[in-house]
Structure 1
Amino acid sequence: MNKENFITGYPGHESEHRAAMKKVLGQENYEFFFDKWLEYFFTDADAVFFASLGLNALRLPFNYRHFEDDMNPRVLKGEGFKHLDRVIDLVDKAKTGWHSDNHSSWASFWDYKYHQDCYNPINEPCDPEHVRLPAFYQRLERPSVPDHILWLDGNTFAMEFVGFEPLVSGPTKLPNTAYSNHDYNSMGFPSGDAYLGTDEQKSRLEKSFRRKAEWMAKYDVPCWNGEFGPVYSIHEKDEAAKKINEQRYNMLAEQLNIYDKHAIPWSIWLYKDIGLQGMIYTDPESKWNRTIAPSLQIKVDAQLDAWGSYPGASMESVMAPLVAELEKVNPDAKDEYPTPWNVECHVRRAVLQTFLSRTLSDKFAQQFSGMGKEELEECAKSFHFDQCKKRDGLNDILRDHAKLSHA
């Protein structure tokens, strides 16, 4: 219920994508399409498959805009619970992320108390002052069910916990609370080194995880690895792609060994998308994938997505001299928060992932122009479990690991 752009292929941010789709489809067809998309994205078949792998925790993201309109705040939209309740019921029957839809580079969350009042615990927060996030967590009201656990992400993409000490000690200690880190590694992405399973690389993987989880170990509080996982290629007949995918499956398997060693529970990211990272993904020949193919190629060539973008000579020939000039003007620009980012990351976020992506939202939506309900439903149904492909290499590892964990 909170779509990142790489999951379905649109450029930019979800609110821009939805606005563009409404403009092209009209209110009635717009509501019809997105309702069908949510319906088909997770069905009883998905819940049964997830449980069949032996997995027992499903992390369900949702956008507050399903429950409240920005222009009609504090008025609960009852219809927003339709698909949230439906998925929870399906998962119960089967017994089994900063992705805030912000279309600018300004994290206004931290500057408005009202914004904080309207949010539940948040995914991958980035507070440059390192004090407002712990303060926000302290303001959270306990759920009506006292045994309900709060899972709180660390700061800076859930990688560090500076300033969190008041939450775990003294009178301000939060009861029944666990803390979550996210454990992505560059070796699982196109820009990183290939994972060959060397002792040095295994050591790097473990050191990276321990650095992100050391705060929880120090204060002896529960730790949950809330996200991890590499990206993959869907070019199944390409031998080079097969080799890359095999390397990344091996890396993920080693990460699972590390989590077992340290007795850390986890949830993988993510379950379903159009082919970059999901456990299952839409068929490249599906109505959805064929419809968005021209737009998707533009995104790939222009490196518009922050997640999993592939290096390309054309865009990098433009970015490299711009970044070099900016660093010449201000060598300290590299120290701008978030700390894991360099100058190029900031430029890409402002120019490619925000500005250029926003200008392409209408072009993406125009690909659906003239479609009636039948075609729109066919597009949405591309995400139905029965029409998707399974990433067997990944799912086999998860299934085998679950068997060992339950043994």
Structure 2
Amino acid sequence: MLDDRLTPERITVNDLTFLTVRDSDIVDETGSVVRLSGVGLGGWMNMENFISGYPGNEERIRRLLLDRLGREAYDAFFDEYLDGFIDEPDAAFLASIGIDSVRIPFNYRHFEDDARPFRLREEGFARLDRAVTTLGRHGIRSILDLHAVPGRQNQHWHSDNPTHVAEFWNHPHFQDRVVHLWEAIAERFKDRPEVAGYNPINEPADPSGDVILPFYERLEKAIRAIDHRHILFLDGNKYSTDFSAFDRRSDPLPNTVYTAHDYALPGITSASEYPGWTRGEYFDRAVVEQTFLRRTEYMRRTGTPIWIGEFGPVYTADRTQDAFRLQLLRDQLDIYREHGASWALWTYKDIGLQGLMHVREDSEYLQTIRPELETKARLGVDSWGGSDAGVRDILDPIDAVFAREFPDFAPYPWGRQPHVAVLVRHILLAEPLAERFADRFRGLSPDDARRLAGAFRFGNSVERTPLVELLREHIAAGR
């Protein structure tokens, strides 16, 4: 529910000015320091399996749904999904909490087809513009985040990767297309103060570490030739946790924020308590702060602003576990405030794992896909929030072979066991399950498809009240 104490009218787009970097701060045009308190809009223009419910990666499930639904019903479903996921009531709700910024992830496929590279599509720009405008009317700035690039910039599903290989770093063709797209985005939004800045690539994972800095330098020059005002928010390598590549420069890029992602282990694994033990390590506030300090060492050393572009626990529906996860989140937010860091919590809306808002349990959409959700959970098909407990009979023999034959095998980025999980759980098992998921939609009429997608509208969603109240109180206390 909207809070009358924090009405959306407290600030409007007409009050927003361009932000810029001044030493270690983000400031507005009056010189006042701005600490961004935001959320990510995950699952909207870049769908993700745990957010929307499907198995695998977005491009594949869209292809399967087009086959099962036919063009008319397919378009009806996705038009409603994209129109309803973020709209005026969502913006008003976020403003009522005190949220002042939204990181908007998007997939390059909204702007360009692989079969027609460099031929940009107006529909993607129009949809992104609509969200920026809607949020801006409620005094909320947008940070534009290219979450999935041609060739895939990392090894996981959230870059719309159907494999485990990040080919973006190997092919200049893919890099050329990203530069071309950002030039067009900069041209479109260069005069929009309600855009806080550009986040050119989400969670890059360049295995060599040799390509990321030259590419960022090239991209910065291309964008600055068109738009010198907007801040660049640059993710570190290895999923925005490794900033060693930037030490090859004598100084940071101008008007740039280097952004870390700061998921705390007790919030995203099967930990039983916090403070307490997780995977053999004791975690309390001091340990969480040490992790934050390690991940932001580059920013503090170079005197540049700190923005935590993603963080936040997942929730379990177990009150005791969720209580300690909220305590972990409270500690993280307090740490960020003490160190002058801006932040964007992941994520705003989903089907129930992590969002401030989630689809109703009794919605027709969730009832339709329930059997596949149960199979996903049983087989651990989703990387985020999934468990391997139900497939140890598959994984244990593989682990034994690797331990015997390849004991030193530690592939980038996270080592052997996560590598096997990607190949077996998140790709091999996801592929046939995606077929079954799509079968649930076979033969739906356009009206049926539109009704199912309407589950993601604000009026059909449920607030995760303890999380919302925690954010509201934290933001209000910082004013």
Same fold (TM over 0.5): yes
In the superposition, relative to structure 1, how do residues 242 and 168 fare at CA in structure 2: closer, same or farther (>3 Å)?
farther
Equivalence for 2:379 = 302
What is the Cα deviation at residue 102 of structure 1?
Answer: 1.3
Counterparts of 1:96-111 in structure 2, within 5 Å, are: 96=140, 97=147, 98=154, 99-111=158-170
Equivalence for 2:244 = 162
Q: Which of 367, 388, 394 pairs up with 2:467?
A: 394
| Distance in structure 2 (CA, Å) of the matches to 1:200 and 1:181 | 20
What is the Cα deviation at residue 311 of structure 1?
Answer: 4.7
Equivalence for 1:86 = 130
Equivalence for 2:209 = 130
Secondary structure at the residue paired with 2:260?
strand
Counterparts of 1:114-153 in structure 2, within 5 Å, are: 114-119=173-178, 120=182, 121-140=200-219, 141-143=222-224, 144-153=226-235
| Distance in structure 2 (CA, Å) of the matches to 1:201 and 1:324 | 34
Asked if the contact 2:275–2:285 (Cα under 8 Å) also holds between the matched residues in 1, the reply is: no
Which one-letter code corresponds to 1:244 in the other structure? Q
| Distance in structure 1 (CA, Å) of the matches to 2:271 and 2:57 | 26
Q: Which runs of 5+ in 1 are unaligned?
A: 236-240
Which is worse superposed, 261-270 or 196-205? 196-205
| Distance in structure 2 (CA, Å) of the matches to 1:167 and 1:311 | 42
Which one-letter code corresponds to 1:22 in the other structure? L
Does residue 1:336 correspond to 2:395, yes or no?
no
Asked if the contact 1:279–1:390 (Cα under 8 Å) also holds between the matched residues in 2, the reply is: yes
Asked if the contact 1:227–1:267 (Cα under 8 Å) also holds between the matched residues in 2, the reply is: yes
Q: Which of 63, 73, 77 pairs up with 2:121?
A: 77
Equivalence for 1:238 = none
Q: Which of 406, 424, 430 pairs up with 1:351?
A: 424
| Distance in structure 2 (CA, Å) of the matches to 1:61 and 1:264 | 21
| Distance in structure 1 (CA, Å) of the matches to 2:460 and 2:70 | 27
After superposition, the C-alpha distances for 1:275-313 in whole angstroms (9 at most, x for unaligned) are 00001000010011111101111111110111011352x
- What is the total number of aligned residue pairs between the two structures? 393
Secondary structure at the residue paired with 1:164?
helix
What is the Cα deviation at residue 128 of structure 1?
Answer: 1.3
After superposition, the C-alpha distances for 1:43-64 in whole angstroms (9 at most, x for unaligned) are 1000000111101110000001
| Distance in structure 2 (CA, Å) of the matches to 1:251 and 1:157 | 21
Equivalence for 2:327 = 250
| Distance in structure 2 (CA, Å) of the matches to 1:61 and 1:163 | 24
Which is worse superposed, 28-37 or 260-269? 28-37
Which one-letter code corresponds to 1:370 in the other structure? G
Asked if the contact 1:6–1:305 (Cα under 8 Å) also holds between the matched residues in 2, the reply is: yes
Which one-letter code corresponds to 2:314 in the other structure? V
Q: Which of 216, 226, 230 pairs up with 2:313?
A: 230
Which one-letter code corresponds to 1:321 in the other structure? P
Does residue 1:186 correspond to 2:261, yes or no?
no
Q: Which runs of 5+ in 2 are unaligned?
A: 1-44, 141-146, 148-153, 183-199
| Distance in structure 2 (CA, Å) of the matches to 1:327 and 1:26 | 47
In the superposition, relative to structure 1, how do residues 400 and 252 fare at CA in structure 2: closer, same or farther (>3 Å)?
same
Counting strand residues as a fraction of each chain, which structure ranks higher? 2
Equivalence for 2:96 = 52
Q: Which of 252, 256, 259 pairs up with 1:177?
A: 256
| Distance in structure 2 (CA, Å) of the matches to 1:87 and 1:325 | 50
Which one-letter code corresponds to 2:471 in the other structure? L
What is the Cα deviation at residue 166 of structure 1?
Answer: 3.9
Secondary structure at the residue paired with 1:85?
helix
Asked if the contact 2:237–2:243 (Cα under 8 Å) also holds between the matched residues in 1, the reply is: yes
Secondary structure at the residue paired with 1:50?
helix
Secondary structure at the residue paired with 2:258?
strand
Equivalence for 1:315 = 391
Secondary structure at the residue paired with 2:450?
helix
What is the Cα deviation at residue 31 of structure 1?
Answer: 1.6
Equivalence for 2:58 = 14
In the superposition, relative to structure 1, how do residues 42 and 200 fare at CA in structure 2: closer, same or farther (>3 Å)?
closer
Secondary structure at the residue paired with 1:151?
strand
In the superposition, relative to structure 1, how do residues 168 and 356 fare at CA in structure 2: closer, same or farther (>3 Å)?
farther
State percent identity of aligned pairs. Answer: 38
Counterparts of 1:354-373 in structure 2, within 5 Å, are: 354-373=427-446
In the superposition, relative to structure 1, how do residues 384 and 137 fare at CA in structure 2: closer, same or farther (>3 Å)?
same
Secondary structure at the residue paired with 1:284?
coil
Asked if the contact 1:197–1:250 (Cα under 8 Å) also holds between the matched residues in 2, the reply is: no
What is the Cα deviation at residue 393 of structure 1?
Answer: 0.7
Does residue 1:202 correspond to 2:267, yes or no?
no
What is the Cα deviation at residue 318 of structure 1?
Answer: 2.2
| Distance in structure 2 (CA, Å) of the matches to 1:12 and 1:34 | 18
